Amino acid sequence: MNILVTGSSGWLGQTLVPRLLRDGHRVVGLDPEPGATTEVVGSVVDRALVRRIIRDEGIEAIVHAAARHKPHIETHDNSEFVAVNVQGTLNLLEEAVAEGSKVDRFVFTSTTSLMISQKIRDGKAGGAREAMWIDETLAPLQPRNIYGVTKLAAEELCRLFNHLHRLPVVVLRTARFFPEDDDMAHAIAQSGENTKANEFLFRRLSVEDAAEAHVAALAKVPEIGFDIFIVSAMTPFSAMDCAALIADAPSVVARYFPDYPALYARRGWTMFQSIDRVYDAGKAARKLGFACRTGFREVLDGLMR
């Protein structure tokens, strides 16, 4: 296939583009930042540029991973989020269904962040008695910032274009896979790799698995038509663990992974005392046939080695 990948210079794009090339696809990378995986330097906000690429390159599939992200809240105003995340998505969708377009599948990279309301975010501090078990049925969605609001709006545009034009679209709500330290580092004395390791229990995946999820979605989207999937490492927990997770997470983790305390102790690592949410990626496993290869067990095996 001839595939357009937006956000091709980003963390996901740098992994996804080579992965698609290995499968024999022709890939056109579009990103405002130049890079080894970007063929066209430009923005999805530029409708004429989007039209030219789709027409001139004979694009048959689009992976839309470009976005203003949560860290940009501190450096960009709201209108920039609307322009890139909403108008940019609309530009791609409209050109995908325009007369003469060959596009027959569309994969949109969304985020689990849009599922987290302020109440969920506050977690135990807000009086929650158990962790929130989160799957695709969670409603109503109440994003807590401009990033989440615009990503949710973009999802709804995807849904609309499937409804109006029968454009096959899969939306992937990816959990965390970025390399930077994140906003839960304050929960433990250490941050960085310790925090990321903990998060593989309930809200993280590797960038390699994120790329593989997009490959799986591209293959399945024509038969699916439209659907939304949470993409995260498969959690070892069940919904019955939610009360214990918010009260004493280390004890729950030790029940599933008796070797983790010793492995963590060697590194001077600690587990979060409380886990306030768990992403259930079971639907992706059932309908996409995709499950992350790297989870908490693999993290522990790496520590063992």
pLDDT digits 0-9 by tens, 7-56:
999 999 999 999 999 999 999 999 999 999 999 999 999 999 999 999 99
Kindly give, in sequence order, each residue whose CB lies less than 8 Å from that of residue 21, ignoring residues fewer than 6 positions away: 27
Cα→Cα distances 36→10, 17, 56, 137, 177, Å: 11, 10, 21, 39, 20
Reported confidence tier of residue 122, pLDDT bands at 50, 70, 90: confident
Mean local confidence (pLDDT), 223-245:
98
Give the integer Cα–Cα distance in Å for 109 and 279: 17
Assess whether the previous peptide bond of 261 is cis (omega < 30° from 0): no
Give the integer Cα–Cα distance in Å for 75 and 70: 10
Mean local confidence (pLDDT), 278-291:
98
> What is the pTM for the complete model shown?
0.94
Task: Give the model confidence (pLDDT) of 185-196 as tens digits.
Answer: 445 555 689 999
How are beta strands 61-64 and 277-279 bridged, if at all?
Answer: unpaired
The per-residue pLDDT for 190 is: 59
- Tell me the three state secondary structure of residue 46: coil
Which residue, chain included where needed, has tokens 């990033």? 147
Task: Give the model confidence (pLDDT) of 248-277 as tens digits.
Answer: 999 999 999 999 999 999 999 999 999 999
Residue 244 clears pLDDT 80, i.e. is over it: yes
Token representation of residue 25: 């696809």
Token representation of residue 22: 């290995």
- Tell me the three state secondary structure of residue 277: strand
How are beta strands 226-231 and 169-174 bridged, if at all?
Answer: parallel
Reported confidence tier of residue 68, pLDDT bands at 50, 70, 90: confident
User: Residue 83's CB: how many other CB atoms inside 10 A?
Assistant: 17
Which tops the pLDDT comparison, 140 or 188? 140
- Tell me the three state secondary structure of residue 136: coil
Q: For the chain, list the domains and their CATH numbers.
A: 2-304 (3.40.50.720)
Which tops the pLDDT comparison, 74 or 272? 272
Give the integer Cα–Cα distance in Å for 12 and 179: 11
Mean local confidence (pLDDT), 127-152:
93
- The percent helix, strand, coil of the chain (3-state, each to 5) is 50, 15, 35
Question: Bridge-partner residues for 172, per DSSP?
Answer: 109, 229
Inter-residue contact 223 to 231 (CB < 8 Å): no
Residue 109 clears pLDDT 60, i.e. is over it: yes
Radius of gyration of the chain (CA): 20
Assess whether the previous peptide bond of 143 is cis (omega < 30° from 0): no
Residue 76 clears pLDDT 60, i.e. is over it: yes
Could you give the percent of the chain with pLDDT greater than 90?
A: 86
The per-residue pLDDT for 180 is: 74
Mean local confidence (pLDDT), 89-108:
98
Token representation of residue 165: 């034009």
Inter-residue contact 6 to 30 (CB < 8 Å): yes
Average pLDDT value over all residues in the chain? 93
Kindly give, in sequence order, each residue whose CB lies less than 8 Å from that of residue 305, ignoring residues fewer than 6 positions away: none
Token representation of residue 66: 């470009």
